[in-house]
Structures are given as C-alpha cells and as structure tokens.
Structure 1
C-alpha cells in the first residue's frame, strides 16, 4: 500500500489524472448527492445533468467569443510543395502565380523585372501590403524561415522588399453575417489565401577587423527571388463551437425531458384528484 501511494505521488501524469477525476467526482457527486436526497435518485441525476450541460454551454460560448479555453490550430503560413521558393521570374508562371509569362529576358535589369512582376500581379487582383501593416512583418518572418530551410539564403543575406496578397482578403472566409460582415464567428470555411513575398539579396560586404560593420545594401544587379505561401486560417474557435453547440442541444433535450415529466406528474395528480372526488 505504501509503495502504491509513493508511486502515485511520484508519477506526475498519474497524479494529474487522479486529481482531475477526483475533483470532478467530488464536484458533481456532491451536487448530485444533495439533489438526490431531496428529489430522488433519478430526478436528481436529471436535474444535475441539465445544470451541468447549461454550465458547459455558457463556458463554451465565452470560449467561442474570445477564442480562449480549448483552442484549435492557430493561423499560420504554410509551404506550397515544390513552389515555395521561386528563384527566377520566369518560373512564376509555371508555378501558377501569374496567369501569363512575364516579358523579360536575360538582359532585363533586376529592378525592371521586379516592376514588371508587380504590374502583372496588380492587374490580376493582388495588392501590395504596406511595410507598416502587421501582415508584412508576419509574412517576412515566415518567408525567412522557408528560405533558410530550403538553403536559398543564410540569415542576414537578404531583405524582404515587397509582400503581395490577394485583394480583398476579407472574402477568403465565409459565412459572415451583418451588412459589412462584422460578425465572423461562424466563418469556419475559407478559400485558399495566398501570399507572395519578394526577396532581394544583399551585396557582399567587406568585413575588416576592428571596424564597425557596414549596413547591408541590396544588390540591384541580382534578380529578385520570391516565396509563395498559403495562409492557413486555422481552426482556433472550432473546438469551442462544437462544445457550445453540442452542450446546448443536450441542455435543450434535458429541459424538454424535465418539462415532459412535470406534465405527466400534473396529469397523474389531476387524475388522482378526480378519482378521490
């Protein structure tokens, strides 16, 4: 017995499971014990279960609104297999980013080729994200991770010069309610939301001992490279929504059962009163 208690005290997983089970049993069992002594075993259990489902429905509603509690997958950018890092402008058409090939050749300057890509993207409905927008910084970080994973650049060898996204991004998730789509708590379905990040390499800097490092400068002669990503909007509120909907349905069914029982009791009492009268 002593060895068993020591094992329970030492194993954190087992101790945590037992703590949750005992806490739930004491919490729900004590309420059921009080209701059972006053209403009877079956009716007390039905009332206790109804109250539990109502409490879970309220808790799930709060989780659903604020995105807390039991969470799903958070939004993040993901790679597109085989098309994440595009190192040549001509490959943008082959990767499916552009509808038509860009009219550039080997003699076209890197800046002119980047401007041609920008013009064609804007004509296809893409919009350039401002550097001050939060989406720019988030896409910049994700693009840097993908570039380093693919071995295209090392940290500190490149600069993100532009970020493009499909315009407007508000239509990517649905359904949304309200005149302007303000209520998006039910927007569980969404279309693929693509982002294109333009990257420019730095010039090779000469490092001298004892001197402060020189600020990196973009190499205008090197062609731009692109990172093609898809934005996964995740499922942050889906678990809370399922809990809320399921517990609300069970709460309504249990309330109907209690109402049905009250009607039977009232009819039986009325019939008994007529027979005695």
Structure 2
C-alpha cells in the first residue's frame, strides 16, 4: 500500500499504475486459464486475446480520431519567409507572384488595399473574421510575429487573413462530398496581415478606449503553411502492428492444434497395435 501513496514523482506513479493494471487484469485472466490448460498454452491464448483487443481498440481510435493521438494540424512558419515586413518581401518570399503597381505618393492604407486586391487577383480567399479558420491563423501568426520581434504584445492587430490551396484529390465525379478516396492535398498557405495600433493611455476609473489602427506605419505580413499533422498515425500503427501479432499468434495456435491431433492419432494407432 505504500507504493500507491507515491505522488511526488508523476512518472513513477504512472509507471506503477500501468504495471499494477497489467498484473491484475492480464495476470488474473492468465492464472484462471493456466489452471485449466497449462501455463504455456494459457500464456499463448491470453497474449492472443490481448493482441485482438489492441486491434479492435486501435481500429476504433483510427476511425474516430480519439484515444492515442498524434500531433494535430497546425500552422507552421514558411522557412526564411515567415514575417514579411514590406511589400517587396511578399514577392521575394513567395507569397505573391507579382507586386501591385503602387504609386509613389500612395499612403500606407492605399498600399495595403492594393496588396489585398493583388492577393484576391492571384486566387487568395479573404477569410471571415468570425470564422474558426481566421482565429486559428490569427493565433499562430501572433506567436511568430512576437517571436521574431516585429511587434510586441498589444502593439498590433491581425486585420486580414488571406487563404489559398489545401484542395483534396482525387474526387469522385468532381464532387467534394464524395472525398473518401481523396488522400492527397495541395499545399495550403495563409498570409495574415498585421497592422500596428495606436497605444491608448488608460485612466483610472474609466473604461479603456478601443485601440485604433495606426495608418502611418507599414503593415507586416505573416506567411504560413498548413501542417496536416498525424492525429491517426499512432492508432494506425497500433492496429496494423496488433493485427500482425494477432495473426501470428493465431497461426501458432493453429499449428499447435495440428501437431496435437497428429500426436494423438499416432498414440492411438500404437496403443491399438
């Protein structure tokens, strides 16, 4: 009982929990079968049942994407072109194929509008700020833009997110609802537009004033690519690996049964003679 009171080491406590669970659950079944069919055969049968259970559990996790899961999909930085701090960097970083024609006397707002129109002309989709996809891209862009020191916390605001790519293929009859064979994807990119905001001084006892965008400073862009993750990979490995072990153990049981029958038939023939 003293072992169960260990709480200062989470790793040791988790290890003891797994060991005790295996000994009690699997060990009790093995001991019951060993009294009827012998220790070696009982171990083989118990191990086969465990492998079969692993296949069923892994298949369930594989179908629903639950249980033992790998990394979830996330937005990752484009190497060498994550935070683009001017309009020229959009083309050199690969976000745009061509730059818009910006007049020399254009303001920062007018230049941002021309850049946004160029994104749309090249096939980008402007995400709705209320959509979950906008929120995910906004959260990831905030991390990268602060890590590289372009802006500090509370000094900027993500005002636009441009999305392109990510189509699945092959589709049956070109219909998106029939996509259960679409195992491949085109690269999926987003560009988040970050605008600096005017710092507002707060006064005690008064509600804070909502921040406003600073139209005199250059907009910056965060270029990211979608990593689809590997949520079902551990479940796939468990299902296939457990299935191979289960089939191998079933074959061993089958071979043992055949050898036993041959031995029994030989012993009966000798006894009759």
TM band (smaller chain): 0.7 to 0.9
TM-score, normalised to structure 1's length? Answer: 0.81
CA distance in 2, matches of 1:262, 1:198: 70
- 8 Å CA contact 1:147, 1:153 repeated in 2: yes
TM-score, normalised to structure 2's length? Answer: 0.82
Superposed CA deviations along residues 50-107 of structure 1, whole A, max 9, x for unmatched, are 1000111112122222333222222222223432211211110111111123322542
The correspondence for 2:254, drawn from 259, 262, 265, is 259
Q: How does 1:68-83 map to 2 (within 5 A)?
A: 68-83=66-81
The correspondence for 1:243, drawn from 228, 238, 242, is 238
Unaligned runs of 5+ in 2: none
CA distance in 2, matches of 1:44, 1:176: 49
CA distance in 1, matches of 2:8, 2:203: 57
Secondary structure of 2:190's counterpart equals strand
CA distance 1:265–1:123, shift in 2 (3 Å): farther
Aligned Cα root-mean-square deviation (Å): 3.3
The correspondence for 2:38, drawn from 34, 37, 40, is 40
Unaligned runs of 5+ in 1: none
Correspondence for 2:95? 97
Correspondence for 2:125? 127
Secondary structure of 1:78's counterpart equals strand
Secondary structure of 1:90's counterpart equals helix
Q: Does 1:227 align with 2:225?
A: no
Correspondence for 2:135? 137
Superposed CA deviations along residues 200-259 of structure 1, whole A, max 9, x for unmatched, are 222454666665433322233433211111222222221121111100121122222222
CA distance 1:257–1:123, shift in 2 (3 Å): farther
Bigger shift: 265-274 or 136-145? Answer: 265-274
Correspondence for 2:195? 200
Secondary structure of 2:98's counterpart equals coil
- 8 Å CA contact 2:167, 2:185 repeated in 1: no
